[in-house]
Amino acid sequence: MICFLIAFAAFGCTEVLQKGRDNWNQPLWRQLKGASWLFSSPDGFWRFANNDLELAEHLGHIQSSEPHAGKLPHQVLQWQHHDGSAWYNDRGIKVTTSPNDFEAFCRSEDAEEHSSLWLVAPRFPQLQGEYRKQETRKERGQPVWRQVSGEGWIFSTNKGRWFISDTEEGIANNRGVLASTTQHNGSAPYQIDQWQFLSQGSWQSDQTIFLTEKQAEAQRRVAEQQREAVKRTDRAPDKVWILCQPKPHLQGEYVKQPARIERGQAVWRQLGGNGILYSNGLGGFWCVATKEADVQKNLGLLQCSTPHYGRPPHEMESWQFADGNTWRVHKNVRGELKEPNGRPFTRLMRPSQIGYNRVMYGNV
Ligand SMILES: *[C@@H]1O[C@H](CO)[C@@H](O)[C@H](O)[C@H]1NC(C)=O
């Protein structure tokens, strides 16, 4: 955060003092306790030079985002900073003529130096929780936060969006699973209202993603989520049937596990088999695995083709199965642009719905 107080000669005040006019008849300010200048560049931007040399060359690291077209510096709404390679819009830069605003801004700047952020993202439980700012690290001119008890990272992309990735490589590659829906223009991640998640190669907006600098608010929301999860799990059907000819060992009756909640959803186990039907933590897909370890790793042999958005498994129209040697759901869901192998073919049915055999033969 940077704030500049500029003063006109008539106001007779403080930080930056007017020093007449430049060759283009634009006003020019000089820092009162320092060597910086605020000037109008030949191409019509307000720009801050660090010293006389930069001023002579019309150089600077902070400038108005657009040519000022006759507006004075304190009338400019958007500023940008240069990090050595590119310009970035930066809401943290303010120019004012009011000493009161200046002081208020300096105070709020201290308050806004949040070193921890909390993410609430019910579809990505492993990414939820506290993120701590990396004190010395900047990427693309912006700070980077790292998840305290997980693999998550919050960073700014080349195109100026906030991204949340589940690997550190995501930072270099501009890849992630959650993203701000617009460019941030220098707003901090917790000031972003609209988030989206990547689901099999396309971005889906998600009102349940919430990032805050207030721990209590995050905890309140997570507690609310847990209460909802208990209700949802109670409402879920006690039994569902899976029909899936390519994976015959996964077919049959699945029984809801009492009092078990995974990622906010019920879990069912196959009667007389190893199948576990659960909601994965990579966007909220119903998924069938055969080992508890795979449930934890978000792996499976079957899954619904779209996120369930809270709908129970038997209401999902389209499913897909792992084909070939392995199906790395994790990779596919995370945003390889390719669809996972598979085709819709599976139906899950409530016991009250029409006969098992008829549906099976009707769909295969
Ligand atoms: C950033 O600027 C763009 C273009 O002006 C705008 O569409 C977008 O909403 C802004 N983003 C935020 C977070 O305000």
C-beta of 26 in contact with ligand 1 (< 6 A) = no
Long-range contacts of 163-167 (CB under 8 A, 24+ apart): 164/119, 164/121, 164/127, 166/124, 166/126, 166/127, 166/334
Q: Report pLDDT for 104.
A: 76
Residue 364 has what pLDDT? 20
- Per-residue pLDDT band for 264 (boundaries 50, 70, 90) equals confident
Nearest CA to ligand 1 atom 8: 182
pLDDT at 335: 25
Hey, what are 160's tokens?
Answer: 């100026």
DSSP 181-225: SS--TT--GGG---EEEEETTEEEE-TT-EEES-HHHHHHHHHHH
Report the predicted TM-score, pTM, of the whole model to 2 decimal places: 0.62
State in Å: Cα 275 to ligand 1 middle: 46
Render pLDDT for 160-186 as a digit per residue (tens, 0 to 9): 999 999 999 999 999 999 999 999 998
The predicted-structure confidence for 72-113, as pLDDT tens digits, reads as follows 998 998 998 887 778 888 877 888 888 888 877 776 655 556
Q: Which residue has the tokens 């109008």?
A: 40
Higher pLDDT, 302 or 120: 120
**Which pLDDT band holds residue 318 (cuts at 50, 70, 90)?**
confident
Q: Which DSSP letter does residue 340 get?
A: P
> Is 182's C-beta closer than 6 angstroms to any atom of ligand 1?
yes
- CB 181 near ligand 1, within 6 Å: no
Pocket perturbation via mutation, ligand 1, pick of 161, 162, 185, 193 by most ligand atoms within 8 A of CB = 185
Cβ–ligand 1 distance for 184 under 6 Å, the answer yes
